[in-house]
Amino acid sequence: MSIFDIIGPVMVGPSSSHTAGAAKIGFTSRQLLREEIGSAQIFLHGSFLATGKGHGTDKALIAGLLGMKPDDERIPDSLRIADEQGMKYSFSGIELRNVHPNTVMLKLTGVNGRELEVVASSIGGGAIKICQIDGLEANICANYPTLIVHNIDQPGHVSEVTSMLGHKSVNIATMQLYRDKRGGNAVMVIECDQEVPLEAIDWLKKLEGVVKVTYLSLEENNEF
Amino acid sequence: MSFRSLNEIIQICTLEDRSFWEVILEEDISDRGTTREESLSRMQSLYLSMKHADATYEADLKSASKLVGGDGAKITAALEKGILISGPFIGEVMSKALKMGESNACMKKIVAAPTAGSCGVIPAILLTYEEQYHISIDKMLEALYVASGIGEVIAYRAFLSGAAGGCQAEIGSASAMAAGALAYLNGGDADSIIHAAAMSLKNLLGLVCDPVAGLVEVPCVKRNVVGAVNAISCADMAIAGIRSKIPPDEVIDAMRNIGEAMHKSLRETGEGGLAATPTGQEIALIIRE
């Protein structure tokens, strides 16, 4: 924790967890989809569902999905802006198991048809955790460029990915591996100290046994 | 790695003959692998954001629930009429604390310090001090480093969120941070800084988080006033040479223990305390509909 987690962030109120964290979840999910959002189905859990409305959680999530950051003063008007831009959205309640009280599930479809399902929690002070991507476990704080590789659980994929990162001079900050069963679906979540070049990500996508590659870039003004 | 105790900071101040704020700044530089210039300019942008939020307060705004708005302007008006006992410094601090809390509730841009719910305490003290004592911005930034150093230790030893430790963790921590900063601005040494913080936190120990309808509105906005005014009295006590009988780090540990013992209904769930009063429940019902 740095002193700028103590004083800061600069944010639109009223709640760091219900508003700033919600905006960051929306923004991060949009970065993960890497496409403008055409439609979003939003499922609120727990405290997000119970007190979200009074905290502007709905407006903050939509704002984030539109590409606004937690300090964007247009957050209070985000629903109107979404209507103007033709982004469709719906809100409903959901009961998720074993998650933080401030959790949301997002089912997103991009304007070019790309799809993504994200489960994310706002864990306090504006910090977030992406818990699931497309139904598979993840554990992402969204403070680092993050590479998420879904692959078939078979030997060699971890070394392919890590060798590529080494070759591109990208240092790995943290790395997590999950799978649903032996030989089933596996996922690698790699938080990096540097941005991963986009051509390297395209190369990964073509590898045999790699099902899907998702990349969270922290670069500003990311045009998709 | 952040400091684990206020005592550790004091030891470094003494051993290396450095000011409290400098120790915090240098730790930030080494912790984040950054430069002095970057750290200072980042702190300055936070301070300017606080200033901007104060200057752009809108008296006619109401929060989504319509419970909150316009009170900061009432204090300003009463101050201008000269009918308040508080006097110009405390009166202005009260007005600024209310205004920031109200702006937060009305979805305006604020600086969480340490949280959004407690965002009025530190700027109320610092901005008023700068205005009325004509202090250089450099000195104000130094005060912010003092405040954040205190907050960092509280975050390590206890917590800063109402959900974790009740209002004492939010307004109490903000008040401790502001008291230390004000003691510094008023010429206090490192020992005065940490005792101002300790006395300030002590006075708010046990304060529960009981927001009506779960919103950061009632009683949060007015508690910013209490946090700020408490900080002034504790900074003054420290400057006068008064010390906390319980050592500052032990006070923080007590805050943690109290927070852990606090019933869940009193930790931001909107189920206990003021939220559970007949009027509180009635308001919650209206908002839900």
> Closest approach of chain B CAs to the CA of A77, in angstroms?
10
The torsion angles phi and psi of A107, rounded to 5 degrees, stand at -115, 110
Whole-angstrom distance, CA of residue B19 vs CA of residue A71? 33
- Non-local (6+) Cβ contacts of A141 within 8 A are A127, A128, A129, A130, A191
Q: List B residues 12-31 in contact with A (Cβ-Cβ < 8 A).
A: 24, 28, 31
B6 reaches A (C-beta below 8 A): no
ipTM: 0.95
**pLDDT recorded at residue B208:** 98
Q: What integer pLDDT is reported at residue B1 of this predicted model?
A: 57
Say what angle helices B121-133 and B36-55 make with each other, to 10 degrees. 90
Considering only the beta carbons, identify the residue of A1, A20, A56 that sits closest to B155. A1
Q: What is the pLDDT of residue A33?
A: 92
- At B255 the pLDDT is 98
d(CA A121, CA A151) in angstroms, rounded, equals: 25
Q: What's the rounded Cα separation, in Å, for the pair A119 and A25?
A: 9
Pairing of strands A172-179, A10-12: unpaired
| Residue A151 sits at the chain B interface (C-beta within 8 Å) | no
**How many other C-beta atoms are found inside a 10 Å radius of the C-beta of residue A195?**
14
Provide the pLDDT for residue A138: 87
Closest residue by Cα to residue B50 from B105, B106, B133, B116: B116
Are the C-beta atoms of residues B173 and B195 closer than 8 Å to each other? no
Query: Which chain A residues have a beta carbon less than 8 Å from that of B113?
Result: 6-8
Is the domain defined by A146-216 classed in CATH 3.10.105.10? no
Chain segment B27-36, per-residue pLDDT in tens: 999 988 899 9
The residue extents of the domains of chain A are 3-140, 146-216
Q: Is the CB of residue B86 less than 8 Å from the CB of residue B97?
A: no
Which chain A positions have a beta carbon within 8 Å of B24's beta carbon?
Answer: 3
A-B Cβ pairs (cutoff 8 Å, strict):
129
Tokens (6 digits) for A95: 């009961």
Band of pLDDT at residue B177, cut at 50, 70 and 90: very high
| φ, ψ at A67 (rounded to 5°) | 100, 10
- Distance between CA A37 and CA A65 in Å, rounded? 7
Instruction: Please give the torsion angle defined by the CA atoms of residues A188, A193, A198 and A203, in that order, rounded to the nearest 10 degrees.
Output: -40
A3-140 and A146-216 share one fold? no
Rounded Cα distance between B127 and B132, Å, is 9
H helices within chain B, ranges in order?
A: 6-16, 20-32, 36-55, 71-81, 87-105, 121-133, 137-157, 162-165, 167, 173-185, 190-203, 220-239, 248-261, 278-288
- Tell me whether the omega of the peptide bond preceding residue A70 falls within 30 degrees of 0, making it cis: no
The domain limits of chain B are 6-288
The pLDDT profile of chain A, 224 residues, written as one tens digit per residue, is 789 999 999 999 999 989 999 999 999 999 999 899 999 999 999 989 988 888 899 999 999 999 999 999 999 999 999 999 999 999 999 999 999 889 999 999 999 999 999 999 998 888 899 999 988 888 899 989 999 999 999 999 999 999 999 999 999 999 999 988 999 999 999 999 999 999 999 999 999 999 999 999 988 655 66
* CATH node for A3-140: 3.30.1330.90
Average pLDDT value for residue range B145-169: 95
Task: Count how many residues are written for chain A.
Answer: 224
| Partner-chain contact B107 A7, CB within 8 Å | no
Q: Do A6 and B160 touch (CB under 8 A)?
A: yes
Contact A141, A128 (CB under 8 A): yes
Please identify among residues 118-177 of chain B the ones whose CB lies closer than 8 Å to any CB of chain A. Answer: 119, 122, 144-145, 147-149, 151-152, 155-156, 160-161, 163-164, 177
Per-residue pLDDT reduced to its tens digit, B42-95 = 999 999 999 999 999 999 999 988 999 999 999 999 999 999 999 999 999 999
Q: What is the CATH number of domain B6-288?
A: 1.10.4100
Tokens 């089933």, residue located: A184
The closest of B232, B261, B194, B214 to B117, measured between CA atoms, is B214
Are A69 and A6 within 8 A, CB to CB?
no
Location of structure tokens 């989504």: B64
* Residue A212 three-state SS: strand
Cα A62 from Cα A67, distance rounded (Å): 9
Residue B15: the pLDDT is 96
pLDDT on residue A122: 94
pLDDT at B281 over 60: yes
What pLDDT score was predicted for residue A137? Answer: 84
* pLDDT surpassing 70 at residue B274: yes
Q: Which residues contact B289 (CB under 8 A, 6 or more apart)?
A: none
